[in-house]
Amino acid sequence: MDVGGKDAKDAWMSANYLKTLPYVDSDRIGVWGLSYGGFFTLIAMTDQPKLFRAGVDVAGVVDYVMYYSDPYHGDWTASRIGTPEQNPKVYANASPISHIDRLEHPLLVLHGTSDVNVPYLESVWLIDEALKKGKGDLLSFMMYPGEFHYFTRAHVLLDAWHRVDDFFAFHLQGRIKQPR
């Protein structure tokens, strides 16, 4: 019943701890994740917008009300956090899209169009909301036609991980090469 709550706090505490270490550049900490980790990245980038310099969301849920409404995921979601009517605060907390206006640092979003675990539409909605809120300049997005939740095809894996590497190299290490 604490989706995006104490787990997100763990990320913030970890980042703040890293910032105390003399060998860590506190201005160059990034966050990334896939699936729940992608959701986690979105929460981290919007609830604590100054904490992470860049983030990568791979197929993360952007809003658990939308996820609950999907015919394939309603039972799964309700079994873990109840329904939106039963637990509106839990669902509101688990909605990084409602805080996308707080985004301050670059975010890379990767998603397969055939994802049945977290529907591709979640990322499309995220991009649309970010554009509406004037945050389009902070977003990079790559869709992978026909790819599922976990990328499996060699050319997709090669592109995705090179894209992530280039993104972090540019935004965290200051390499001159623009990310793909």
142, 163 Cβ separation under 8 angstroms: yes
* Residues tagged active-site: 35, 115, 149
Residue with tokens 């590497």: 165
CA distances from residue 170 to 53, 97, 112, 177 in whole angstroms, order as listed:
11, 25, 24, 7
What lies within 8 Å, CB to CB, of 95 at 6+ separation is 4, 62, 63, 64, 65
> Within 13 Å, how many C-alpha atoms sit on residue 77's CB side?
25
